[in-house]
Structures are given as C-alpha cells and as structure tokens.
Amino acid sequence: MSSDSSLQSSAVINEAVQTLRDGGLVAFPTETVYGLGADAKNAEAIKKIFTAKGRPSNHPLIVHLAAPDRFDQAQVDWVPILANWARDVSEEALKLINAFWPGPLTLVFKKDKSVLTDLTGGQDTVAIRAPSHPIAQELLRKFKGGVVAPSANRFGKVSPTSASDVRHEFEGMLDLMILDGGDCEVGIESTIIDLSSGDKAILLRPGAITPSEIFSKTGVKVYLPGDVKANELTEDLPKVSGSLKAHYAPTTPLRLYAPGRVLDALSEFPDIKSRVAVAVWDSDSCLGDDGHPSAHFEEVEVPSDSAAFASRLYRSLRDLDQQGWDLILFPEPPAGEEWDGVRDRLQRACFGSGPSSSSHVSN
C-alpha cells in the first residue's frame, strides 16, 4: 500500500495537520472507508463533524490513533498510549490489539475522564482504532494526538470509498480539505468489539475481521449481542449508529433477491416495467430460469468472493444510484460468517433506500 502515500505529498499532509490543529475538518482515507476527521480534544471541532454529517449528537465517534513503529517485529507497548484514552485495558484487549492493530478493528473501552463526552455521545465508554492506511498513519503520527473520524458521508447514507465520493457527498455544503489515498481496500467499516463490560467481548458491528479469525489468532471468544443476557446490555443509548435498521442507504430503492427469485423481489414494485439493475454473481453466466423480460433488466456483475464484494459494495451502490435506475436488485449474500459484514450493510441499505429514506433514518 505504500504507493498510496505518494498520492499526497508530505507538504499536503503537513497542511492537513495544521488544519486539524486549527480546529478544522480533514477527510482522509483509511483502509475501510474515508473518515471525516477532527481533533479529538477540541469540542468545537467535534461539533462541526456532527453538523456537517447531520448526525444526532448522541451517536458516538471513533478515536483514531497512530500505531507506533514496530522495531524488529517487537510488540508495541500500547499500554501508555491507551492510558490517555481508556480505563481497564485487559490482557484480552492487548491480545486483540497486538494481533490486529493497525487494521480494521475498533475496540470499545471504559473512557478515561479526560475524553470529551462530546465525542462519546454522553456515554462513559470510548471507541478506539488504529487504521492501517499509510496516509491515515502519516497524518496521525504527525498530528501527535487522537483524531475522531466518522465515515465521511451524510448521516444514514452510503459511506465513501474514494476521495471523489467525499467531494460529492459534501459539495456546496462544506469547504473541506480531502486527502486522496485512492480506493479503500476493505470497503466496509471496521469490526467493532465492545470490551467495556469487563468480562465478555461483544460484537457490535461485523466487518472484515470476523469472530472466528479473532478466536483463531488470539483465543479470545467474541459473543454476539444475542448471546448476552438482556440485563448485561445497556440499550438506552444508540451504541452503534449503523445498528439503526436503516443506514448505508442509496436514494434508489434497493432490494435483495434469493437465488433464482428475481421476480419475487419485483412483486413489491408492480409499476416498475423497466430500468431495473440486477447485480448477479460473477460466477453465474445469467440470471437463471426466472423468465424475466430481459429488455427491462440490466445485469451488473458482483464478485462472489466476500472480501472482493465488500471492497466494491459501496462503489457499486453509489454508481448505480447515480445511473437513474428505478430499482436496484442485489443477490442475497450466502450463509457464512465471512459474509456477515456485507449482509448487515446490504440489509440496512435496503431498509433505508428510496427517495424518502431520510425520514426512516432519523427514527
């Protein structure tokens, strides 16, 4: 990934650092999606993020930290770094960190008292991650502090995976400095694990790093929220904004179809006679025996490998959304944990999609 660094010169990154120090916003690439960054110690700058995104102030932000250099593969001592942000960092937490940071894993801890509640949405916990994208790392290292960064999209909309997506998202609304790091490799947001309850690691948002991978690399068992007794979960505040039923949504209606059941998905839209984009697995040569009137459909191939699918999911949704289809159909992702991240995003995108999506989302 080092070639991505060359997309932005040191001088541009220095300017971005100065913008953050001055309380401004900087959009920057991470390996998952582009983030909209601000100084995590500046309440006014944090407020600008919520305003720009149209995000309710009780939806907490992730603090992004620089990963110190590893010399000779030696393990980095994260304890003093985390001490500025988190309390009760357990042995289990350090196992996850040593295995997956920098990378697409966010961990939720009890917060240190110095962490602004403006960024935690009033909660006593804080979400932290060290992104691996070289531009994000250079920015964070030079800034020498924490940077809060939600995905750089308007609240509830599809997350951006390129610099031009970010530009498009805030065009005419916000004069924003955007660091260009090319297309994001992972393509969906980081996996979030809640470690704040002390004993159990709980999956709050599925992503590229799965519970099985965590278990096999660290021996730490990750529980799903459904595995944990209701009284152990605090439901009063939205822990993960992506956990709203509607999120990541295009303006064009989007639905999923079961294998070979395109016409069933269409039955909800009896008036649509044409302009339907149907995503099909690249492993299938055609839609099968649905007998649909092919003149009304256009097939768009999507990868049948889960990582490749994730990497292009938001790109496809944005592109299809701009092409003026009446309806977009995607195949239901197959069963299997490696598909959980994209299944989660697609289901929420379906629920929030359509011209009136913003009214769903704000609920």
Site for Mg ion, rule CB under 5 A = 151
By CB under 6 A, is residue 133 in contact with ligand TXA?
no
Q: Which does 204 bind (CB under 5 to 8 A by kind): Mg ion, ligand TXA, none?
A: ligand TXA
What is the closest distance, in whole angstroms, from the C-beta atom of residue 235 to ligand TXA in the complex? 12
Q: 220: which residues sit within 8 A by CB, 6+ positions away?
A: 92, 95, 96, 201, 214
Closer of 29 and 331 to ligand TXA (Cβ) = 29
If we measure between CA atoms, which residue out of 350, 356, 359, 258 comes closest to residue 313?
350
Buried (b) or exposed (e) across 338-352, using 16+ Cβ within 10 A? bbbbbbbbbbbbbbb
Q: Which does 17 bind (CB under 5 to 8 A by kind): ligand TXA, Mg ion, none?
A: none
Interface residue with ligand TXA among 8, 19, 42, 151 (CB under 6 A) is: 151
Q: 69: which residues sit within 8 A by CB, 6+ positions away?
A: 76
Residue 162: C-alpha distances to residues 28, 165, 316, 341 (Å): 9, 5, 12, 19
If we measure between CA atoms, which residue out of 278, 100, 117 comes closest to residue 195?
100
What is the closest distance, in whole angstroms, from the C-beta atom of residue 34 to ligand TXA in the complex? 7
What is the closest distance, in whole angstroms, from the C-beta atom of residue 187 to ligand TXA in the complex? 10
Joined together, the tokens standing for residue 295 give 């003149």
By CB under 6 A, is residue 62 in contact with ligand TXA?
yes
The string of DSSP codes covering 46-88 is HHHHHHHHT--TTS--EEE-PPPPPSTTPPP--HHHHTTTEE-
By CB under 6 A, is residue 361 in contact with ligand TXA?
no
Interface residue with ligand TXA among 8, 132, 241, 311 (CB under 6 A) is: 241
Q: Taking the CA of residue 237 as centre, how many other CA atoms within 13 Å lie in the half-sphere pointing to its CB?
A: 12
Interface residue with ligand TXA among 239, 255, 343, 345 (CB under 6 A) is: 239
By CB under 6 A, is residue 123 in contact with ligand TXA?
yes
First to last CA, the chain: 39
String marking each residue 184-203 x if it binds ligand TXA according to CB under 6 A = -----xx-x-----------
What is the closest distance, in whole angstroms, from the C-beta atom of residue 112 to Mg ion in the complex? 24
What is the closest distance, in whole angstroms, from the C-beta atom of residue 31 to ligand TXA in the complex? 8
Report the distance separating Cα 339 and Cα 231, nearest Å: 29
Residues 28-57 binding ligand TXA (CB under 6 A) are 30, 32-33, 35
| Three state DSSP letters for 264-330 | HHHCCCCCCCCCEEEEEECCCCCCCCCCCCHHHEEEEEECCCHHHHHHHHHHHHHHHHHCCCCEEEE
Q: Which does 62 bind (CB under 5 to 8 A by kind): Mg ion, ligand TXA, none?
A: ligand TXA
SS3 125: strand
Closer of 46 and 62 to ligand TXA (Cβ) = 62
Q: Which does 125 bind (CB under 5 to 8 A by kind): ligand TXA, Mg ion, none?
A: ligand TXA
Contact range with ligand TXA by CB under 6 A, out of 120-128, 139-147, 167-175, 259-267: 120-128
Neighbours of 221 (CB within 10 A): 12
Interface residue with ligand TXA among 8, 42, 106, 306 (CB under 6 A) is: 106
By CB under 6 A, is residue 61 in contact with ligand TXA?
yes
What is the closest distance, in whole angstroms, from the C-beta atom of residue 361 to Mg ion in the complex? 11
Q: 74: which residues sit within 8 A by CB, 6+ positions away?
A: none
Instruction: Note the residues at the interface with ligand TXA (CB under 6 A).
Output: 30, 32-33, 35, 59-62, 106, 108, 120, 123, 125-127, 131, 149-151, 189-190, 192, 204, 239-242
